[in-house]
Amino acid sequence: MTDDGRYEGEYPGQEGLPFDEGGGQARRSAAGGAGQEAGGRGSSSGGSDDDLFVWDDLRPPDRGRDERRRRPVDAEPGDWRVREFPEGRDRPRPPREDRRAAGDWRAPEYPTGAGRARHEPADGYEVSEEWEEWLEPEAPHRQETIGPLPERHKGPRRRRLSAGAVLLAMLLGFFLTGLLDARTIKKDVEARPYGALRTLQLALLAPMTGLSGLVRADDLGAAVASALGRGEAPHHTLAEVKKTKKPLWPRTITEKKPLRLYVAGDSMDQVFGSSLVNLGEATGLVKGKNDYHVSSGLSRPDFYDWPQRLVDQIVDFRPEAAAVLFGANDGQDVLYEGKVLKVGTKAWQEVYAQRVGEAMDILTKGGRRVYWVGNPIMKDFEYRGRIAMMNHIYEAEARKHPGVTFVSTWQALANEKGSYAEYLKDENGDLVLMRAPDGIHLSREGGDRMAQVVLDVIEKDWGMTGSASPSPAP
C-alpha cells in the first residue's frame, strides 16, 4: 500500500480485488449505495476481514462477452485497475509473432501508475509463459523465449568400454571364480556318469585345477567357505565308535527313554524318512533324525562318501537303531581298481554288494539294530529291473550281518495284481495318490504307507506297544 492509497501488489496489472485494508474500504464506500439499491448486493460494513461479496441467490450475475468492462467510480488515468483500451470492445490481442516483435511477450505492458516500476520474477519466467507453451506447442521456443538455460557442468567425459572389453572382464571374473573353487568343480564333474563326455570335461578342467593347486587358490576358497559357515566339519573315525557297557538291544522303550532312531538315504528318503520320524515320534517312544542327500548313493563314493557320513552321524547322534534306504541312484556304472564296471554285470554286483556290506558293518558296530529298507516297485520296466536286482543284494547281505533286518516294501505300493499303480486304496477304501509323476518318488500318502510298514517291524523288534502311556502326575 502506497501513501496515496493505491494497491501495490506482487503482480501489477492483474485484475481482481486485493485484500488489503485501504483498497477494500475505498471500493466498499464507492459501491455500497449502488449495490444496496440494486437488490441488497454489497459487502458488509465491518472491518477488513469482511472484504467479500455476497450475491443474491448465491450466484454471481451473468456478464455477456460483449459487455463493456465496468470502470471503477474513483478511477483515475493511469490507475492499475483499468486497462487503457479504446472505448467500445476490448482491444484484441495481437498474434504471438507481433507481440514478440513489439517487445517481451512474457511481460504484458499494463500501465503501472505514476512512479511505479513493473515487478517481474527474478528468473524472467511467468506462469503465463508456461500456459502459452502448452497451448502452442508447435511454436518455436528460442533461448530468449524460455529464458537463460542453466550452465552445464563440463567435466571430463567418461570413457565407455567396448563390447570386447566387457566380455574380457566377464571371462576374467569367471576364471578367477573357477580358480578359487576348482576343487569343488572337479568333484562335481567326477561324479557324473562315466563316459567320453566326463573324460573330456576332466581334461579341459585339468589346467585350471593344476594352476589352482600351484598358487594354492583352492586353500583360499576353502578358507572363505569356512568363514561363511559352508566348510566341512571335522570328521570322526570308526575307532571312536565304541561298544557300550550295556547292550543297546534289547531294552525296554519308555517315554522317558525313547528309542533313538537314525534314518539315512538318498532322495527317496526325503519323504519316506520324514514320514517315519513323524509316525515314530507320534507314539512318544521314538526320537528320530532324518538325513538324506539328493543324487547320492553307495555305488559312487567319489561323489558322496556315505561311509564317512555314517561314521560321523553315529558318533554325533549316538543312535540305537538305524533305518536306511538306498538304491534310487545306484543303478549306474562304477569305477573299481581303474576299470569301469557296467551296471548289472556280475563284477558290478560283487562290488556293489561289497559296498553295501561295508555300510552295514559301520551301522551295526556297537550293537545297534539296522533296518535296511528295500525300494518299492517302479513305473519304468528297465529301471524296475535294476531296483529289483539291488533289493536282492540288500536281502542277501542282510543275512550275512547279524543285527540287520531287510524290510521289503515292494508289495506295499503295488496294486492287487502286483503291478505299479499311482493310486491305491487307503484304509477307508478311497483311492489316494501314492507316487510322484516321475514314477519313482513318493507322495506324502505313499511315504506314510511305506513308513508304517517299517515302523511295524521296528516296534515288533523292540517290543514297543505303539503308543506311550501318559506319565503319572508328580
Question: In this predicted model, what pLDDT tens digit does every residue of 232-278 receive, in sequence order?
Answer: 678 899 888 877 778 899 999 999 999 999 999 999 999 999 999 99
φ, ψ dihedrals at 323, nearest 5°: -120, 125
What is the spatial distance between Cα 445 and Cα 272, in angstroms, rounded to a whole number?
10
Distance CA 413, CA 450 (A): 7
Q: Are residues 340 and 279 in the same domain?
A: yes
Residue 235's pLDDT is: 87
| Residue of 39, 43, 40, 7 lying closest to 22 (CA atoms) | 7
pLDDT along the chain (474 residues), means of 10: 51 46 46 44 44 50 52 59 51 52 51 50 54 59 55 66 79 73 74 77 79 71 64 80 84 94 96 97 96 93 92 94 96 89 95 97 94 97 96 97 97 95 94 96 96 96 66 32
**Domain endpoint, select from 174, 203, 227:** 227
Question: Is residue 337 in some structural domain?
Answer: yes
Whether 469 is covered by a domain: the verdict is no
**What pLDDT, on a 0 to 100 scale, did the predictor assign at position 51?**
47
Cell of 276: 517315519
Q: What is the pLDDT of residue 376?
A: 97
Of 194, 227, 260, the residue that ends a domain is 227
CATH assignment of the domain containing 419: 3.40.50.1110
In a domain, 431, yes or no: yes
Which pLDDT value is given to residue 393? 97
* pLDDT tens digits along 163-178: 877 788 887 777 777 6
What Cα–Cα distance (Å) separates residue 447 from each residue in 294, 349, 370? 16, 28, 19
Rounded Cα–Cα distance for residues 213 and 196 (Å): 25
Closest by alpha carbon to 407, among 436, 430, 375, 439?
375
Domain contains 155 = no
In this structure, how many other beta carbons lie within 10 angstroms of the beta carbon of residue 446?
Answer: 24
Q: Is there a cis peptide before residue 247, judged by omega within 30 degrees of 0?
A: no
Residue 96, C-alpha cell as written in the block: 504471438
Q: Which of 313, 325, 326 is nearest to 275 (CA)?
A: 325
Strands (E), 149-258: none
Q: Clarify whether residues 198 and 93 are in a common domain.
A: no
In a domain, 297, yes or no: yes
**Same structural domain, 201 and 321:** no
Residues 178 and 203 in one domain: yes
Residues 172 and 321 in one domain: no
Residue burial 75-93, b: 16+ Cβ < 10 Å; e: rest:
eeeebbbbeeeeeeeeeee
What is the structure's pLDDT at 446? 96
Residue 176 and residue 164: Cα distance in Å, rounded?
18
Distance CA 94, CA 20 (A): 34
The answer to pTM > 0.85 is no
Same domain, 285 and 171: no
User: Are residues 170 and 253 located together in one domain of the fold?
Assistant: no
Instruction: Give me the helix-helix angle, 381-400 and 346-364, nearest 10°.
Output: 50
d(CA 429, CA 456): 21
Please tell me whether residues 221 and 244 are part of one structural domain. Answer: no
Residue 174 belongs to what domain range?
Answer: 165-227
Instruction: Specify the pLDDT at position 28.
Output: 46
Q: Tell me what pLDDT residue 74 has.
A: 60
Q: What is the pLDDT of residue 302?
A: 84
Which of 186, 207, 227 finishes a domain?
227
Q: For residues 260 and 240, what is the distance between their CA atoms, to the nearest angstrom? A: 19
Residue 290: inside a domain, yes or no? yes
Q: What does the pLDDT read at residue 25?
A: 47
**Nearest CA among 397, 393, 391 for reference residue 412:** 391
Quick one: pLDDT at residue 76?
A: 63
C-alpha cell of residue 465: 506297544
Q: Are residues 251 and 295 in the same domain?
A: yes
Q: Are residues 47 and 67 in the same domain?
A: yes
pLDDT score for 346: 96
Is 220 part of a structural domain of the chain?
yes
Looking at the domain assignment, is residue 292 inside a domain? Answer: yes
Judgement on whether residues 344 and 220 belong to the same structural domain of the protein: no
| Number of domains forming the structure of the chain | 3
Residues 172 and 126 in one domain: no
